Structures are given as C-alpha cells and as structure tokens.
Amino acid sequence: MGKESITKEAVAKEAITKELEKRCIPELLRLSDNTPVDSPQLWEARRKEIHEILQRECYGYLPETGWETEWETVAEEENAFGGKAYKRTIEVRIRSGRGYVSFPFQLSVPRNTEKPSVFLYITFSPLSSPEMVEEITDNGFAVARVCYQDIAPDQNDGYDNGPGSLFPGNAYDGWGKLGVWAWSLSRIMDYLVQEKTLNTDAIAVIGHSRLGKTALLCGAMDERFSLVIASESGAGGAALFRGKEGEKVADLCRNFPYWFCGNLKKWAGKEEELPFDQHFAAALVAPRCLYTAGASEDEWADPLSEFLACRAVTPVYELLGKQGLVADRLPRTGDIFHEGSVGFHLRPGTHYLGRDDWKLFMEYRKKHGV
C-alpha cells in the first residue's frame, strides 16, 4: 500500500473520532465517583449505574419481580409455506396481584434446519400479514413475531391497558410504552429459551423505528439475547441526542410523551445537559452483538448519530475482549460494516425495513454465529 493511501485511510478514520468528539457525550468508562473503568469487573459496576440512569431519566423502571406467566398454543399450522415450516400461535398470559393480561405471538420454524437460530421480531403489522416470514424461514431461521399493538395500544392511555396495568407507575419514573413493549418481549423470550427445538444461544431481538427503540431497550435490559437489531431507531433509540439532526427530545416529548417516562421532559431542549446519551443504551448490549441499520434519506432518525453511538460503545467492547464497530470511515450510502460485534449498514433510500435490510441481518448472523 502506498504512502498516500495510508495517509488517506488515517484521515478517514480520524474523521470519525473528530465527529464523535464534537458531540461531547458523557463518558462510558468512568464511574459516577470518577473512578476510571479499566476492567470487566468495574464495567459490571458501571453497567448497573447506566441501567439505573436510563430507567430513571428516559424509559422508566421496568418491573423485576411480581408476576407469573403461562403460555398456551392456541393455533397450529403443520404445513406452512407449502410444508417448509410449521407455525404456532401462542398466547402469553401474565398475572400480577392487580390482574391479568394476555397477547399472542406467532412462532414459525423452518423444517430445513435443525435447532434454528431465532429472530424475535416486534412488528407494526398484525399477525395475519405474512411480512418477510417465508424468506426468513427459507434462510434457516425461526421467527417469533408479535404485533406491538396486541401487547398494548400505541396511545396515551396511561396504565389502563396491557401489561402496564399490572404495574402502574408514577408520572416521573414510571415505565412508558417502550418499556412495556420491551418487557413483554422478554416474556416471549421466557418461552423461547425453554424451547429445546430452537438454538436458544442465538436469539436476536429486532424491530424498526419506534420498535427499533423497543428492541434496543429490550436487548439492553435482557442479557439473554445474543444479538440486538435496532433498525432506523433514531431518537430514543440508537441515535445520540447530542448534535442530532431531525427528531429531538422536545419532539418526542410533545408527540409521544407516553413512550418514555415523565422525567425525560426535563431534558427537552437541553440535550447538552442530559446525564446520559443513547450510547448508554447501546453499551448495555456489550459484549453481545449489536446491529444498527440506517437509511441514507432518513434525516428524522439521523443515521450519522446512530453510527456515532456504535463508534462510542466500541471501547466497552474492547474492554470486554471483543471488537466493537470496525469501520474505516464515516458511513457513505451503501456502506456495510460487518466485521465487528457491532454491525452497521447505511442503505440507500428512506425510512423502511425491507428485504435488503433483512438480507444483511441474516448475512451478519451467519458470519458471527449469533
């Protein structure tokens, strides 16, 4: 390699560092008492702090105890997709001292693969819509799909409906809908990890947009997922708030206050003062795999801010013995960074989760065995 190209490469890498420095985000590798975090043991302590800050200031506290869950298969299709897969619709029933709620999910399992890895996919569309399931199962993955509105309506209805009603919170740090959807995914995970026909070591959680935020929160809180895929999750998802284009904290709090906890409102217009930034959520996924997908024309989500969060968590991965994001330059349209435990791609086009994204997610999973 010539001297000139070595220099070009160095400049391109340096551009990432410079762009990230401009954001002035809070440090990940320092405890609140200022102790530098330089070992996996100290990271565990820092992890607990981050876990606490994110719940208190952004998403609200998710319940940790006090419920019972049961699952019942309510429908079965032995020969789905012309016999290539079987499908089961399973009802999740959750009970706490305050009552009982339920929602369905659908598990599609390919017959061509022994112990398939799984995508736990939270979707906008109802279970009756076929979505991408046939293509995913043809690729040898099982899919557990749940429609988010079946868990709890996407409305400002307080704690009236869905799992929120089992654990109503307060107006400050009570859980918002993202927390409710994320926590409910973990109740599906409780079922999946017991399912011996599946590869329970390789269960990914995936969602797009508000459901990308949900998938990130779920995978940040629940360490049983081997991979977390946040597609175009933007503000309140994988994008840094500081220096972000498009949607800001104030937009979220005006349009979707009920997705978050009440405390987030304190930070509207004050991103620079936030005691966290979204790389905190991404860091909780380490050392497991994290994949952030962006689209070049999705200014509202701001893929550069998503990319920079991936870069910001890389030192945590390195501390834990993994490569984080392996990228040699700021992302250009069409770039795919699949080398490290943090994956990223920048698809051309607008806000959407489609077959081009799925193809890359599946490639990444096959490459890393997660």
Among residues 87, 145, 210, 345, the one that binds ligand GCU under rule CB under 6 A: 210
How far apart CA 205 and CA 188 sit, in angstroms, is 11
Which residues 149-208 are close enough to bind ligand GCU by CB under 6 A?
Answer: none
- Kindly tell me which residue out of 162, 163, 234, 340 binds ligand GCU, with binding defined by CB under 6 A: 234
Q: Which is nearer to ligand GCU, 166 or 211 (CB)?
A: 211
C-alpha 133: how far from its chain's center? 20
* 314 in contact with ligand GCU (CB under 6 A): no
Using the minimum distance from each CB to ligand GCU, give the nearer residue, 199 or 231. Answer: 231
- Dump the DSSP string for 239-296: S-STT--S--HHHHHHH-GGGS-GGGGGGTT-GGG-S--THHHHHTTTTSEEEEEEET
* Helix 303-312 vs helix 3-23: crossing angle, to nearest 10: 100
> Which helix (H) or strand (E) element contains residue 101?
strand 99-110
Closer to ligand GCU by Cβ: residue 118 or 217: 217
- The answer to whether 206 and 238 are in contact (CB under 8 A) is no
CB 154 → ligand GCU: shortest distance, Å?
A: 9
- Least spacing, CB of residue 209 vs ligand GCU, in Å: 3
At its nearest, how many Å lie between ligand GCU and the CB of residue 87? 27
| SS3 of residue 185 by DSSP | helix
DSSP string, 158-171: TTSSGGGGGS---T
Nearer to ligand GCU, 124 or 191 (CB): 124
Chain center to CA of 91: 23
Q: How far apart are CA 287 and CA 280, in angstroms?
A: 13
- Closest CB 72 distance from ligand GCU, rounded Å: 30
Which residue, 268 or 326, has its beta carbon nearer to ligand GCU? Answer: 268
What number of chain residues touch ligand GCU (CB under 6 A)? 6
Nearer to ligand GCU, 235 or 283 (CB): 235
Residue 243 or 324: the one with the smaller Cβ distance to ligand GCU is 243
Query: How many angstroms separate the most distant Cα atoms in the chain?
Result: 69
Q: Which of 90, 151, 230, 235 binds ligand GCU (CB under 6 A)?
A: 235
340 binds ligand GCU (CB under 6 A): no
Least Å from the CB of residue 212 to ligand GCU: 7
Burial class (CB in 10 A: 0-12, 13-18, 19+), 362: middle
Q: Is 357 in the site for ligand GCU (CB under 6 A)?
A: no
Exposed / middle / buried, residue 308 (Cβ in 10 Å: 0-12, 13-18, 19+): buried
Task: Report, in Å, the least distance between residue 210 CB and ligand GCU.
Answer: 3
8 A C-beta contact, residue 107 and residue 87: yes
State the nearest-atom distance from the C-beta of 162 to ligand GCU, in Å: 18
Site string for ligand GCU, 243-282 (x = CB under 6 A): ----x-----------------------------------
Q: Residue 209, interface with ligand GCU (CB under 6 A)? A: yes
| Residues 53-92 close enough to bind ligand GCU by CB under 6 A | none
Burial class of residue 96 in the structure, from the number of CB atoms within 10 Å of its CB (0-12 exposed, 13-18 middle, 19+ buried): middle
Give dist(CA 194, CA 256) in Å, integer. Answer: 35
CB of 265 to ligand GCU, least distance (A): 16
Q: d(Cα 177, Cα 224) in Å, to the nearest integer?
A: 21
CB of 235 to ligand GCU, least distance (A): 5
Contact residues toward ligand GCU (CB under 6 A) are: 209-210, 234-235, 247, 300
